[in-house]
Amino acid sequence: MEAGTDSSEGWGESEPATDVEPLFSDDTITDSASEVNSLLESDRRSRSEEDHLLERVAFHKSQGRARSRRKPWSQSLVERELDFWRQFCEKIKREPVECLTACEAETIKAYLEWRVKNFRVKKESTMKSYWKRISCAYIDTAGRRMDNGTELDIRDWIPTYLTPTYGLETSEKEKRAMFVQEFYVFEYAHWVEDRRPLHGLIRVEIWALQLLSGATACRPGALVVSGSAKGTNKAVWFEHVEILKIRHPENPSCTVLAAKVNLVHIKDSGGQGRRKKFVFYEEPTYAFCLVYALVAVAFAHAAFRRPFKSVQELLSLTVPPSRHVLRLKFKREILKTPFFRDVEWTDTGYRLSDSKAFPYHKYRDHHVHLCRLVGKEELGELYDLRRGSGRNIHREFLPPFQGLLRSPIAHCRPFCIDALIAEEADQVMGHHGDTYRRFYLPDLIERDFSSIYFGTPPQDELVRAIARMSLTWDKRAPTDLSPQQKQEVRNHPELVRLRRRRDRYRQKLSRLGFHPLRRAAGHPDYIRYKAAERKINTMTTTLKNKRLDEEIRLFHDTIDDLEIDRQLDGRPVAEPYTPRVMEFESPERALIAKFISLSLDDSADGEALGGKAAFIDALVNLCHQQEGRRYPGEYDYLVNPMDVDSRSLTGLDLAAQPACRRVQVDSTKGEREAMRQHQDSMGLVDGEEAQVSREHVCLLCGKAFKRKFTLNRHLDIHVKAGRFTEPFQCRVAGCTTWLKGEAHYKNHCATAHDVFH
């Protein structure tokens, strides 16, 4: 009883009640519920995370093996090779993917043989490239490398069977380097001797690109849009170029123009491409001053944020005392646009493009043209500049130039440059390790080995002169085909056959009533007609280039024998090549040519020409001009300005007008003074040839020509300039006829003024 009493008493006590009460209170129940909810939420979260991870696993499994990191151009080559593989599989009636995954050596060997037979392959290296692409296609398809011995088998089979069986070439192209001596010859030919009708902007930009290529040893694809990046505008942009005015460290009171160029779109090296920045300043030699070229191009595009009224206004800027530099910034809206741009054709003539970058093929084509112009035996490459610059980068001492031509560098003294360490040289060239030795080191070693071995006095200058690629250049070499040779090309049997096919399509469309032919656009016969015309143009260009290369090789192969025979026969030695006095249609180009011809010792003549302000101003004005086509021995004469308001044109007036000097510069006082001092060197029009006939005079500007054909070509300049876009009144005094369009103008000239086009 006591126990029960104690027990009941124990239960009846208030203390134990207070200990148990919190366990069953409302707060405790709420906390327990929240803990359960959190556990359920954590479980749901873990389950959702698990489901998400399983989904990602399934996704990556469906994606298969990751593809190799390739450039878009490289990937397009692999896909192109896959297209050829599908054509091959259709011929052997097998499924392409299954056949490639099978990785049968005999099938791949048959494919490579099929490629040799049907695609005019001539070099072993080409077949190795095809094999490498099909290997990449196998990796993308099968997800692994060839591991059954096929890769090693075919790698050994190409040089041991395929090459000797089909006579594939294994020789490597000779690696030549263009140094500053040859480079100046190219610059002189570009500005003075070239007769190709380029747009002024293209001529200035090519000059700037040549200077950049030579100074930076960069690949051409870093400056212009290469074929592999067509349409991407991967080139130098305005945001990559910076124009500066800085104080000269040796003379703080003098400011100097400078430029920074950042090369961004460069080739990857080891999977990672590293940007390169270069600094340039005002060169004392105009021919090599890249800063002036960059400023001129920026002026031509009106790119400066501050709209300068003239070049002189820009050059007169000074650096404030509180600063070390004055940056001439470009407009924000053009920073992402190409710096070197192409020109576009419009209804009113050529205009500067707003967004189209300068293409690689135009840069290369002009370089090949200059190679022919200077008399090179072999076609040059843009990589010649890179090799020559790379050679100078990898050595410390640059010798003086003892060349035969008088040039801006003809009297340079020996000078040294700071040696670049190996890492800096590799950064400039954009490669690693021994890449320069393997791919860029010129084949010809410019060292006096006789002196090294026999101990005789060194003849380094003689060795360098013998090693120069310009040693065999001859300006007498043909630069174009003769009319007879061109006719022989036109009479080629294949071209005759294609022209007959094209004429059949044209006659068929004419019988169907399509006049003019462009109205038949979309018709099957019109498509065949245009395809035949394109093939004719392509084949004509190919045959002409091939024939010209043969004539150039024949000249260089026989010229030495002819000179030897001449001397052995007792005849006098042939006189040296004397270039004729050049005449220029554009006074700006004439002034630039004069500046380019100045040497370091001709600083006084440069100041007489107007100095750097006149030089840059001439470059800017040339950027807005289209050069006309000119022919050797053919001149157009600038007659005295006609006073169309006071008298009419008559045959006696035209015949009595004396010929003016071909080059007249009226832009600045310095230019006018220079032309008076250098009239003879710029070339004059022969007074005996100044007699012109009435039929060959342009009534728009007063220029007279020797041939009607040249007059028509000249009229094209007025057409492209937009002269006939709006009605205008006849410029001949006493004639009040209003003319509308080119056809109306020609008809009026013939009927009213007896001037025929």
pLDDT digits (tens, 9 = 90+) for 389-424: 766 665 544 444 433 334 444 444 344 444 566 656
Least trusted range by pLDDT, from 148-162, 325-339, 684-698: 684-698
Size (the chain), residues: 757
β-pairing, 251-263 with 241-248?
antiparallel
62-66, 478-482, 737-741: the lowest-pLDDT one: 62-66
Is the CB of residue 200 less than 8 Å from the CB of residue 305?
no
> 188 and 172 in contact (C-beta within 8 Å)?
no
Token pair belonging to 140: 């993308």
The pTM (predicted TM-score) of the whole model is 0.66
For position 463, what pLDDT does the model report? 73
SS (H, E, C) 332-400: HHHCCCECCEEEEEECCEEEEEEEEECEHHHHHHHHHHHHHHCCCCCCCCCHHHHHHHHHHHCCCEECC
Q: Which uninterrupted H or E stretch holds 245? A: strand 241-248
Stretch 66-86: mean pLDDT: 84
Q: Is the pLDDT of residue 204 over 90?
A: yes
Q: Report which of 339, 344, 335 is spatially closest to residue 295, judged by C-alpha positions.
A: 339
What pLDDT, on the 0 to 100 scale, is given for residue 699?
A: 83
What value does the mean pLDDT take over residues 614-639? 69
Q: What angle do CA 442, 447, 448 make, to 5 degrees?
A: 150
Q: How far apart are CA 141 and CA 151, in angstroms?
A: 16
**Is the per-residue pLDDT at 549 higher than 50?**
yes
Measure CA 174 to chain center: 23
Which pLDDT value is given to residue 203? Answer: 93
Residue 491's pLDDT is: 92
The pLDDT value given to residue 452: 73
Confidence bin at 708 (pLDDT 50/70/90): confident
**pLDDT score of 348 more than 70:** no
Among 28-37, 168-177, 539-548, 715-724, the minimum mean pLDDT is found in 28-37
- In SS3 terms, 651-701 reads as HHHHHHCCECCCCCCCCCHHHHHHHHHCHHHHCCCCHHHCCCCHHHECCCC
Token pair for residue 15?
Answer: 């203390």
Residue given tokens 């056959």 in the structure block: 497
Which letter does DSSP use for residue 149 in this model?
A: S
Does the pLDDT of residue 528 top 50, yes or no?
yes
Confirm if 699 and 753 have CB atoms less than 8 A apart.
yes
What is the reported pLDDT for 438?
Answer: 65
- Secondary structure (3-state) at 13: coil
pLDDT value at 530 more than 50: yes
The winner for highest mean pLDDT among 548-552, 557-561, 721-725 is: 548-552
- Give yes or no for residue 25 having a pLDDT over 60: no
Task: Please name the residue that has the structure tokens 């020509």.
Answer: 705
Average pLDDT, the chain: 76
pLDDT recorded at residue 474:
80
- Higher pLDDT: 724 or 608? It is 724
Asked whether the predicted pLDDT for residue 656 surpasses 50, the reply is: no
| 4 pLDDT higher than 60 | no
- Which range, of 161-170, 315-324, 583-592, averages the lowest pLDDT? 583-592
Higher pLDDT: 224 or 9? It is: 224
Task: Mean pLDDT check: name the lowest of 199-203, 393-397, 547-551.
Answer: 393-397
Q: Which of 326-335, 384-393, 403-412, 517-526 has the lowest mean pLDDT?
A: 403-412
Average pLDDT over residues 150-164: 91
Would you state the pLDDT for residue 234? 84
Residue type, 314: L
Residues β-bridged to residue 638: 703
- pLDDT recorded at residue 704: 78
Answer with the residue of higher pLDDT: 298 or 462: 298
Q: What is the mean pLDDT of residues 574-585?
A: 65
Six token digits for residue 644: 């169309």
Instruction: Give 124-153 pLDDT, tens digit per residue.
Output: 999 999 999 999 999 888 888 887 788 889
pLDDT score of 689? 32
Quick one: pLDDT at residue 663?
30
304, pLDDT greater than 90: yes
pLDDT value of residue 608: 64
Asked if residue 460 has pLDDT above 90, the reply is no
> Residue 531's pLDDT is what?
93
Range with top average pLDDT, 44-48, 433-437, 483-487, 577-581:
483-487
If one compares 397 and 504, the residue with the highest pLDDT of the two is 504
Give pLDDT, residue 306: 87
Residue bearing the bigger pLDDT, 175 or 198:
198
The confidence score (pLDDT) of residue 29 equals 52
User: pLDDT class for 575, splitting at 50, 70, 90?
Assistant: low
pLDDT at 316 over 60: yes
pLDDT band at 229 (very low <50, low <70, confident <90, very high): confident
Positive or negative: CA dihedral 592, 596, 597, 602: positive
Largest CA distance in the chain: 161
Taking the C-alpha atoms of residue 193 and residue 187, their distance in angstroms, rounded to an integer, is 10
Mean local confidence (pLDDT), 307-316 = 88
Q: Residue 748: what pLDDT?
A: 86
**One-letter amino acid of 303:** A
Average pLDDT over residues 498-503: 93
Tell me the C-alpha to C-alpha distance, in Å, between residue 10 and each of 7, 18, 22: 5, 13, 19
The pLDDT value given to residue 601:
57
Least confident stretch, 405-409, 498-502, 519-523, 751-755: 405-409
| Cα gap 241→330, rounded to integer Å | 9
d(CA 329, CA 317): 14
